[in-house]
């Protein structure tokens, strides 16, 4: 494909800025929602100098423990 | 306001990319369609998160279970049954033992959340114990609710309505559990749907697909060759400019001389 234009024409003057479309901030909230749904709750703001994130796995661990206890109850019903 | 040809071109390109993007992300209402989406997600986890964490949950949830009774012989028999006898020699791809069954429990719980445990009873070391235990595919279970809504009349089928799952027969038992739902719910809400994971996974897929559509569409434009590039001069890629300029100057001088000679001739 050949573009015929003024000699000083730059590509970014007529093609939209693509970096906005692939910016990580678009998908980032969805990732946090996915993690939260799976029981990893995001905790922010443990440092004033830079952004830090800690994922609290308490809900996830509780879910696994509940699953183990339910499984044990099921086996208790059988044997 | 009318668009110039360049603007119209980009308008068309953007319309093509975003064609169909008006569709909202909707998690299906019915159990079977939800399970199709969940199977697609586990088969090829486009989120890069869900499958990893569910595998972790299945792995950590698969704990060894011991049987302890007041009678040593009974304890030994049950231990032997749970490790060596259960599901022995079913097929070459079926592992024996209770721990392997627990893995299946965890997988089914976090996929369909529709747990149907099938048991075949047999005599093992003098005791009537399950010789075979397995979880049916929760996604294949059909529920036929009672017209009056009675819990004890609800029927379950595997695959089709000719294959009813019976609670007990001569040497078999079936147990159904829906860990995240009320007793009166016919079909369970899968764990991933209940926690909003499926919705967010579908949303992420839509975003990623759209981004890749845009990139694929734009790459040819980014790579296009530009005629008359100003950088060619800087790169000295236009040949001997001084010589070309002298040539043009000479040509102009020559033209001017011809014009003067013509004017002088006309004056005489």
Per-residue pLDDT averaged across B19-41, rounded?
Answer: 86
Among A43-52, B49-58, B95-104, the least confident range: A43-52
User: Residue B113's closest CA among B199, B204, B34?
Assistant: B34
CA distance B48 to A38: 13
Confidence category of residue A6, pLDDT binned at 50, 70, 90: low
Q: What is the pLDDT of residues B212-268, one digit of tens each?
A: 887 887 777 777 665 555 565 556 655 676 787 888 888 889 888 888 888 888 887
The nearest alpha carbon in chain B to A69 belongs to B61
The alpha carbon dihedral of B136, B139, B143, B149 has a sign of: positive
Nearest to A3 among B10, B203, B226 (CB): B226
- The answer to whether the beta carbons of residues B244 and A51 sit under 8 Å apart is no
Percentage of chain B lying above the pLDDT 90 cut: 57
Residues 50 to 69 of A: which have CB under 8 A from any B CB?
Answer: 60, 63-64, 66-68
Do A3 and B227 make contact, defined as CB atoms within 8 angstroms? yes
Per-residue pLDDT averaged across A59-71, rounded?
Answer: 95
* Per-residue pLDDT, B262: 86
Among B31-35, B120-124, B177-181, B212-216, the least confident range: B212-216
CA distance B186 to A27: 35
Q: Tell me the backbone φ, ψ of residue A56, rounded to 5 degrees.
A: -90, 115
Do B211 and A1 make contact, defined as CB atoms within 8 angstroms? no
The nearest alpha carbon in chain A to B220 belongs to A1
Task: Using the structure block, give the residue that is written with the tokens 């949950």.
Answer: B57
Give the number of other CB atoms < 10 A from CB of residue B80: 14
Give the number of other CB atoms < 10 A from CB of residue B129: 20
Which DSSP symbol is given to A38? T
- The answer to whether the beta carbons of residues A44 and A26 sit under 8 Å apart is no
Do A79 and B129 make contact, defined as CB atoms within 8 angstroms? yes
User: Residue A53's closest CA among A41, A63, A39?
Assistant: A41
Q: Tell me the backbone φ, ψ of residue A2, rounded to 5 degrees.
A: -120, 130
Cα–Cα–Cα angle for A67, A71, A75, nearest 5°? Answer: 170
* Per-residue pLDDT, A27: 84
CA distance B120 to B131: 6
Confidence category of residue A59, pLDDT binned at 50, 70, 90: very high
Per-residue pLDDT averaged across A17-43, rounded?
Answer: 84
Mutation pick from A5, A34, A41, A60 vs chain B, by most beta carbons of B within 10 Å, is: A34
H or E element that contains A67? helix A58-78
Whether pLDDT at B6 is above 60:
yes
Do B109 and A6 make contact, defined as CB atoms within 8 angstroms? no
- The pairing of strands B225-227 and A2-4 is parallel
Task: Kindly state whether A35 is in contact with chain B, defined as any CB-CB distance less than 8 angstroms.
Answer: yes
Whether pLDDT at B73 is above 70:
yes
When mean pLDDT is compared over B13-22, B107-116, B164-173, B203-212, the highest value belongs to: B107-116
**Three-state DSSP class for residue A69:** helix
* Per-residue pLDDT, B220: 75
- The answer to whether the beta carbons of residues B178 and B113 sit under 8 Å apart is yes
Q: Which pTM does this prediction carry?
A: 0.76
Do A7 and B177 make contact, defined as CB atoms within 8 angstroms? no
Read out DSSP for chain B? -PPPHHHHHHHHHHHHHTTTTTPPP---SSHHHHHHHHHHHHHS-TTSSHHHHHHHHHHHH--------S-HHHHHHHHHIIIIITTTTS-TTS--SHHHHHHHHHHHHHHT--EEEEEEEEEETTEEEEEEEEE--GGGEEEE--TT--GGG-EEEESSTTSB--SB-SSEEEEEE-TTS-TT-SSPPPHHHHTTHHHHHHHHHHHHHHHHHHHHHHHHHHTPEEET-THHHHTT-S--HHHHHHHHHHHHHHHHHHHHHHHHHHH-
Do A77 and B130 make contact, defined as CB atoms within 8 angstroms? no
* Per-residue pLDDT, B123: 92
């Amino acid at each position: 494909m050949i573009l015929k234009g003024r000699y000083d024409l730059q590509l970014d003057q007529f093609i939209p800025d693509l970096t906005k479309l692939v910016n990580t901030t678009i998908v980032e909230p969805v990732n946090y929602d996915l993690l939260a749904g799976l029981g990893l709750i995001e905790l922010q703001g443990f440092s004033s100098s830079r952004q830090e994130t800690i994922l609290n796995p308490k809900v996830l661990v509780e879910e696994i423990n509940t699953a183990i206890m339910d499984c044990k109850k099921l086996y208790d019903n059988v044997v | 306001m009318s668009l110039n040809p360049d603007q119209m071109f980009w308008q068309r390109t953007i319309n093509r990319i975003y064609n169909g993007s008006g569709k909202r992300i909707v998690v299906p209402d019915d159990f079977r369609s939800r399970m199709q989406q969940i199977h697609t997600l586990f088969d090829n986890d486009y989120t890069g998160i869900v499958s990893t964490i569910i595998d972790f949950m299945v792995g950590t949830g698969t704990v060894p279970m011991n049987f302890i009774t007041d009678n040593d012989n009974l304890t030994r028999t049950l231990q032997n049954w749970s490790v060596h006898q259960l599901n022995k020699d079913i097929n070459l791809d079926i592992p024996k033992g209770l721990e392997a069954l627990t893995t299946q429990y965890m997988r089914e719980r976090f996929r369909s959340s529709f747990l149907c445990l099938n048991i075949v009873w047999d005599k093992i070391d003098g005791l009537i114990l399950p010789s075979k235990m397995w979880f049916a595919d929760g996604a294949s279970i059909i529920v036929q609710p009672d017209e009056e809504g009675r819990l004890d009349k609800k029927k379950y089928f595997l695959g089709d309505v000719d294959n009813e799952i019976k609670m007990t027969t001569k040497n078999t038992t079936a147990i159904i559990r829906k860990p995240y739902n009320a007793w009166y719910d016919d079909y369970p809400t899968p764990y991933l749907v209940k926690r909003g994971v499926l919705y967010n996974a579908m949303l992420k897929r839509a975003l990623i697909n759209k981004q890749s559509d845009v990139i694929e569409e734009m790459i040819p434009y980014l790579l296009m060759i530009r005629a008359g590039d100003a950088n060619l001069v800087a790169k000295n890629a236009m040949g001997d400019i001084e010589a070309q300029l002298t040539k043009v100057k000479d040509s102009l001088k020559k033209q001017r001389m011809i014009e003067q000679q013509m004017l002088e001739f006309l004056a005489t």
